[in-house]
Structure formats: C-alpha cells, structure tokens
Amino acid sequence: MGNLSLLVCSVTLKVTGMSATIAGQRDPMLLHQEKDLEVHGHLQLGLNAVAERNLFWNIADVPEIDFDSDTEWLETYIKAGLSFTRSFSEDACLYGKLSEVSSYTFGTDAFDASDTGRTTLEEAYLGYRNRDDNNLVLDISAGSREFALGTGMLIANGAANGFERGALKFGPRKAWRMALLAGLSTSKVKSSVFYLAPNELESNKTENRLAGLDIRYDASEKDNIGLSYIHVIESLAPYPKAAPNGDGAPTITPGAREGLHALNVYAQKETLENLSFGLDIAYEWNERIDMRAWAGRFKAEYAFSDTLWKPVLSYYYQTFSGDDPSTSRQERFDPLYYEGSPSAWSTGSKSTMVFINSNVRAHGLTLRLSPSRQDIVTFRYAHIRVNELRSPVQFGQATRVDITDGVSSVISGVTHPHLADDFFVEYSRIINQNTYLTDGYSISIPERGIKRVSENAANWTGGFINVIFNY
C-alpha cells in the first residue's frame, strides 16, 4: 500500500527530477515537509548565445526588404515556482503548482524581434488524485499547466514563445493558459478527457479552444498503443488555399480551423532486444470547409548497448499532406500544437523555422553517441521535400497569422519537390546534477525547390551555445 500511495499522490518534479534527498543530503528545494504536506521550490535558468548566417537561405536579401540575413543574439530566461502535495490518506491527495517565466532577447533574432521580453504566468493549477480499492486512479485538475498527447504530433506545446516574449530558441513556455483535465487509469490503461486553451501571444491571438479524449494501453514500458481525438471548438486561425492549378498566390480563409476534427493513432513496439519501432497516423476533417487531410510517421531505432560509446541509430520518415491545387477541397494538414524540437517532430534543423508540418515530407537519420556518462554527441540529417507542388508550404510559423517578410515568397509554393538537406551536430555535457551545457552547429543546403524561389539562395548556417541550471 505504501509504495502504491507514493505513485498515486506524489507530484512529478520536472525541474528538480530528484527526491527529498540527494546523495544522502536534504534536497534544498524541499521547502517544507511534514506527515501530510510537502512544499517544493522550482527554479530553472538559461542563457543562450546564437549566431545565424544567410537566414532563410538568404532569400530575404533583396533591396525592397529591410532584413538582415546575418545576426547574433543572446537570450535568457528564468522559470520559478512552488508546488505542493497535501495527502488526506494513503490513496488520496490534493496537489498544485504556481510558476512564472521571465524571458528576454538581447539583439535581433531570426524573426527580426529586437531587445524584447516579457514576464508571464506559466503554471497555476490545482488537482485531486484518488485510488480506489480496485487500483483505479482518478485524477482531475484545472488551471494553467503542461499537457501533451501521445508523441506530441498534434498536442504538446501549449504556449507561444519568441517575438515580443523573447527567448525564441529556448522556448521556455509550454503550459496551456487553461487546461481542464480528467483521467482514469489502471496499471496498463490510461484515459483522459480534456479542454484546452493555448497561451497565445498578445500580437497574435486566434482564440483557439480545443477539447477531446485520449486512451492508451501500455503493455510494457516500451510497448504501447493509443488513440487521441481532438475537436477545435472555436478558432480565428486562417488556412491558406492553393490557387486553382497553382497559378497565382493562395487565398486565405479566415477562421478556417474552427470545427476541425482530428484522430491520431500512435504506437511503439520493441520487437527485439535494443530494436524498437514507432508509428503515428493522423487524419483530419472539417465538414464546414470541406477539408480532408492526413499525416504519418514511421520510426525505427536500434541501440548498440554493448558497443563503445553506446551508439543509438534511428531512422524516420514523416509526411504531412498539402493542399492539392487541382481540387476545390482543402487537403492541407494542420499540425496544431506539435512538439517542434529536433528530438520530436521538427522537419529538419534549420528548415523547421520555415516549414511547419504541412505539405512536407522528410527522411531523417540520427546517430547519438555517449563517450561518457556525462557527454552526449548527436548527429542529425534530414532530407526534406514537398508533397504538393505550387501549393503553400509555409504558413503560420510559430502559430502566427502574419509571415516574416524574409520568407513570404515561399508561401505560394515551389515548382520542384526537393526543398533542402539539413545537417546538425550537437554536444551536451552534464556538468553536475544541476548544470547542463549544450552547443551545436547546423547547416541547411537549399535545393532546387528553394533555389527556384530566389537567385540569392545560399547555405544557411548557424551555431549556439547555452547553459541551463535546474534546481
């Protein structure tokens, strides 16, 4: 009973990731502890130096646009908060968290935002968790908090970063402005219903409201299958529609996202020791605007656990439908609030800053090496192509309606499918249990699809170095 109650009533500490003691010492972030109440402090700080050359493949380097394709900036953030757990019995507890994020960018970032930042509420929620005599766990919560579905293909990042908020690359905000969650789970089956409202930028409010449900079966830690259903109740977010036969600029349909339905099936299976496979399939429809769209990803990973430096090699193929210029139907896939990090659902390293997960497909290879327990080196490659020629391949980057002048010409579509090849090398060092250092360098080589857009197309390069402190 005691161990089970800890699973039921303990709050996962994302920031500290530690128990009440560290190597036999008291956790300094455990602010209060008695029989029925624990209060934890949370503190995370980050500093990131970034340099970019030939931003967006230099296609903004034209006399009529005042945009600097070479820039450097420094971004920083601090995330601080308190969480508590109040136990009523071994099987029931009340929990909650309150946190804020302050972020700032010094200099001018990739989207031309200069010397700007904001302090915003991040998490502010209360929850109740209870386990009955049949080991059925009820978990309900309300407020601003993080929430993700499956692998993060559609629902993961509930807050916008960059632009007037600063810290574009770090993206420290993740929590939804409002998340009403109710879950029932057993040891193998987990289900939840949800209502979500994103934490949007003041400069780009689209008033999105989403609801849905998710159910997942965990056969083991590495074998699972799940199904998510999402419905967009309200939205002002527009969609682009390809011009007939791709002849001309796309039209924009205001509020097109409202009424969207989406189904996402996700699964992971370990078939042999150290070999695993993942599959995601999504289908979207909206009768109000005659929309049908689809997307999918297949991923395979093998860990050479008995080899020097313990290499982990993975391959993925992911594809997202685009709007067919020869039909009146809307076929553009809407990626909603996907997790866009390189280890999740980004399409390329540089290219993901231009192409959201719509009307693109990519082959990707990743090799991760661990020379020591404290050092990780990761190599990534992505081969990126378009699905539909002469159809929008970039719209709403960072969930914005307006398009940065430097990449606005790409929205009309391209006339060759090969867009770019991206290469990225990253080094991470665990300095100590609270301090992490990461630096990386990436290059995106424009291919015929991009080169036909601009005669100035050039290799887009960039590097960064950052340090994060977790307490």
pLDDT tens per residue across span 357-383:
999 999 999 999 999 999 999 999 999
Q: Residue 35: pLDDT band by 50, 70, 90 thresholds? A: confident
Pick from 19-33, 78-92, 396-410: least confident: 396-410
Percent of the chain with pLDDT over 90: 80
pLDDT for residue 101: 98
Q: What is the mean pLDDT of residues 259-284?
A: 95
Q: Residue 26: pLDDT band by 50, 70, 90 thresholds? A: confident
What sign results for the dihedral spanned by CA atoms 280, 334, 387, 400?
Answer: negative
Q: What is the mean pLDDT of the chain?
A: 90
Would the pTM count as exceeding 0.75? yes
Q: What is the mean pLDDT of residues 252-270?
A: 96
Residue 71 amino acid letter:
T
Indicate if the pLDDT at residue 275 is higher than 70. Answer: yes
Which residues neighbour 228 within 8 Å (Cβ) at sequence distance 6 or greater? Answer: 149, 150, 154, 155, 212, 213, 214, 262, 263, 264, 266
Q: What is the mean pLDDT of residues 102-123?
A: 96
Pick from 104-118, 284-298, 353-367, 387-401: least confident: 387-401
Query: Do the beta carbons of residue 419 and residue 449 sit within 8 Å?
Result: yes
d(CA 417, CA 236): 31
Phi first, then psi: give them for residue 344, nearest 5 degrees. Answer: -120, -100
Query: Do the beta carbons of residue 357 and residue 264 sit within 8 Å?
Result: no
As a CATH number, domain 2-16+36-470 is 2.40.160.100
Residue 123, CB-side half-sphere exposure with 13 Å CA sphere: 24
| Cβ count within 10 A of residue 24 | 5
Three-state SS at 119:
strand
Query: Do the beta carbons of residue 394 and residue 407 sit within 8 Å?
Result: yes
For 285, the token pair is 């429809």
Comparing CA positions, the residue from 102, 96, 70 lying closest to residue 84 is: 96
For 212, the token pair is 């849905």
Which residues neighbour 275 within 8 Å (Cβ) at sequence distance 6 or greater? Answer: 300, 301, 302
Indicate if the pLDDT at residue 403 is higher than 70. Answer: no
| Cβ count within 10 A of residue 139 | 18
Q: Residue 64: pLDDT band by 50, 70, 90 thresholds? A: low
Question: Tokens 């390293």 correspond to what residue?
Answer: 349
Q: DSSP letter at 197?
A: E
pLDDT digits (tens, 9 = 90+) for 6-20: 334 533 333 333 334
Question: Pairing state of beta strands 251-253 and 261-272?
Answer: unpaired
Pick from 52-66, 198-212, 341-355, 427-441: least confident: 52-66
Phi first, then psi: give them for residue 182, nearest 5 degrees. Answer: -140, 125
pLDDT for residue 171: 94
Indicate if the pLDDT at residue 406 is higher than 50. Answer: no
d(CA 388, CA 447): 16
Pick from 63-67, 172-176, 301-305: least confident: 63-67
Comparing CA positions, the residue from 68, 71, 103, 86 lying closest to residue 11 is: 86
pLDDT for residue 396: 53
